[in-house]
């Protein structure tokens, strides 16, 4: 049996703007995992995923009618991962074989609620990892990220893939998404092998060092967001054509670049300033586009953190889920934790899943 685990992720800054190719973001991988077990089989393959099976498929309406929330359908991502690797295997002239996959996830808690840690991405990365071992493909991390991205955009063409990069590379990363249309064209024109071997417009990934004088705390406010709904709302209103959107992208870039510089220089105050700037930038987008990114609970999470001299913001799509806090390592956080308890904000005792090896290593 082959077992591969892939970590969940959290956005530190640059969410939403990262959907546009070439716009920077910062993410971390966290020590909560999706595990895929692969056993060879004969004649047919199967996918077992009890946790996901229990979850309902969520749908909603937009201006074009009923839309199914792809965040809630990891089986689509597993099937797309299998199809993408199978295409690669056939291009390489390797004989395809059958296998049974069993998925288990720590990214949902016992009652099945999601923490917004990117379970669709982690399941994609773990499936690609298991098939890489099964077929002895010896793919580098960058190639596995690219395969995961091709599999993901076949299901969700707007996804930035920041979660895939965090899950594949681990640790702290600076990430700009590729032009997904270009990536799909590469696959159509040159096959999966050709796409893996080509440079992707807009894609950039670099490891970052964590700030040594700051502790990262994560709070969860419940009521998980539907990422595709929030992103579709943003794009459905043609925000991309409006001046506000260009302004949002420029401001986001400014604060994320300041964050990256502060991390490179291990400048704790610079990190806090950039996090506050990123919070204000999302806030301006939120009030103009009425997305509901920073819910009252997320605002409370950040405001209570500010009250003890920390800097904080929502993480990822928002509308609930997690907020991230940067607090001085020697600060007393007991008052903050009490405030959170009173406000039903759950402190998630997460650590960063460490980075292992180079991006171009196997
Ligand atoms: C969702 O976790 C983050 C967004 O930036 C969407 C994406 O990156 O695909 C809102």
Q: Would you list the DSSP string of 244-257?
A: HHHHHHHHHHHHHH
Query: Is the model's pTM score more than 0.85?
Result: yes
Residue 69 placed within a domain: yes
Let me know whether 169 and 55 are in one domain.
yes
Per cent of the chain over pLDDT 70 is: 85
Q: Which of 10, 18, 178 is the pocket-test mutation for ligand 1 (most atoms within 8 Å of CB)? A: 18
Residue 88 placed within a domain: yes
Let me know whether 280 and 141 are in one domain.
no
Residue 95 placed within a domain: yes
Distance in Å, CA 94 to ligand 1 centroid: 35
Question: Which residues form the domain of 268?
Answer: 214-348
Residue 358 placed within a domain: no
Residue 354 placed within a domain: no
Q: Which atom of ligand 1 is nearest to the CA of 158?
A: 9
- Residue 352: DSSP 8-state: B
Distance in Å, CA 290 to ligand 1 centroid: 17
Evaluate: CB of 317 within 6 angstroms of ligand 1.
Answer: yes
Flag whether pLDDT at 314 surpasses 60.
yes
Let me know whether 331 and 230 are in one domain.
yes
Let me know whether 235 and 197 are in one domain.
no
Let me know whether 57 and 202 are in one domain.
yes
Q: Which atom of ligand 1 is nearest to the CA of 156?
A: 9
pLDDT at res. 320: 87
Distance in Å, CA 89 to ligand 1 centroid: 30
Residue 93 placed within a domain: yes
Let me know whether 75 and 202 are in one domain.
yes
Measured over the CA atoms of residue 242, residue 244, residue 250 and residue 255, the dihedral's sign is negative
Flag whether pLDDT at 234 surpasses 80.
no
Q: 208, 229, 245 — which closes off a domain?
A: 208
Flag whether pLDDT at 342 surpasses 90.
yes
pLDDT at res. 59: 64
Residues contacting residue 213 through CB under 8 Å, at least 6 positions apart: 266, 268, 328, 329
Residue 152 placed within a domain: yes
Rg (alpha carbons) of the chain, rounded to whole number: 20
Nearest CA to ligand 1 atom 8: 160
pLDDT at res. 231: 66
Let me know whether 153 and 232 are in one domain.
no
Let me know whether 178 and 278 are in one domain.
no
Let me know whether 292 and 163 are in one domain.
no
Evaluate: CB of 316 within 6 angstroms of ligand 1.
Answer: yes
Residues contacting residue 146 through CB under 8 Å, at least 6 positions apart: 183, 195, 196, 200
Number of domains in the chain: 2
Q: 208, 235, 267 — which closes off a domain?
A: 208
Let me know whether 93 and 170 are in one domain.
yes
Per the prediction, the chain carries an average pLDDT of 89
Let me know whether 155 and 246 are in one domain.
no
Q: Which atom of ligand 1 is nearest to the CA of 231?
A: 10
Residue 56 placed within a domain: yes
How many Å apart are CA 169 and CA 61, to the nearest integer?
A: 36
Let me know whether 75 and 123 are in one domain.
yes
pLDDT at res. 125: 97
CATH number at residue 96: 3.30.230.10
Distance in Å, CA 96 to ligand 1 centroid: 34
Q: Which of 25, 148, 149, 160 is the pocket-test mutation for ligand 1 (most atoms within 8 Å of CB)? A: 160
Name 348's bridge partners.
218
Q: 208, 223, 246 — which closes off a domain?
A: 208
Distance in Å, CA 228 to ligand 1 centroid: 8
| pLDDT, tens only, 23-34 | 999 999 999 999
Q: With CA atoms as reference, report the closest residue to 118 among 277, 11, 233, 272.
A: 11
CATH number at residue 271: 3.30.70.890
Evaluate: CB of 19 within 6 angstroms of ligand 1.
Answer: yes
| pLDDT, tens only, 253-284 | 999 999 999 999 999 999 999 999 999 999 99
pLDDT at res. 65: 59
Nearest CA to ligand 1 atom 2: 316
């Amino acid at each position: 049996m082959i077992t591969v685990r892939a970590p969940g992720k959290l956005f530190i800054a640059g969410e939403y703007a990262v959907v546009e190719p070439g716009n920077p973001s910062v993410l971390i991988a966290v020590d909560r995992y999706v595990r895929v077990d692969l056993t060879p089989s004969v004649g047919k393959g199967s996918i077992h995923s009890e946790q996901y099976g229990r979850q309902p498929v969520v749908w909603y309406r937009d201006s074009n009618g009923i839309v199914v929330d792809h965040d809630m359908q990891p089986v689509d991502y597993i099937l797309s991962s299998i199809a993408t690797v199978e295409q690669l295997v056939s291009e390489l002239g390797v004989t395809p074989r059958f296998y049974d996959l069993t998925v288990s996830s720590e990214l949902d808690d016992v009652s099945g609620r999601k923490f917004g840690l990117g379970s669709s991405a982690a399941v994609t990365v773990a499936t690609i990892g298991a098939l890489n071992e099964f077929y002895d493909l010896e793919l580098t991390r960058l190639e596995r990220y690219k395969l995961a991205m091709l599999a993901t955009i076949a299901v969700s063409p707007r996804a930035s893939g920041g979660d895939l990069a965090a899950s594949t590379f681990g640790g702290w990363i600076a990430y700009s998404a590729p032009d997904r249309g270009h990536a799909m064209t590469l696959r159509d024109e040159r096959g999966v092998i050709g796409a893996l071997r080509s440079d992707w417009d807009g894609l950039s990934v670099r490891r970052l060092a964590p700030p040594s004088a700051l502790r990262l705390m994560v709070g969860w406010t419940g009521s998980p967001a539907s990422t595709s709904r929030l992103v579709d709302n943003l794009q459905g209103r043609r925000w991309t054509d409006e001046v506000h959107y260009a302004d949002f992208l420029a401001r986001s870039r400014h604060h994320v670049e300041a964050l990256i510089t502060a991390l490179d220089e291990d400048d704790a105050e610079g990190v806090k300033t950039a996090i506050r700037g990123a919070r204000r930038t999302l806030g301006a987008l939120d009030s103009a586009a009425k997305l509901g990114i920073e819910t009252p609970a997320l605002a409370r999470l950040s405001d209570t953190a500010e009250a003890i001299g920390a800097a904080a913001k929502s993480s990822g799509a928002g509308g609930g889920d997690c907020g991230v806090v940067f607090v001085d390592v020697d600060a007393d956080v007991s008052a903050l934790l009490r405030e959170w308890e009173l406000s039903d904000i759950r402190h998630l005792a997460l650590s960063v899943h460490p980075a292992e090896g180079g991006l171009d290593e196997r």
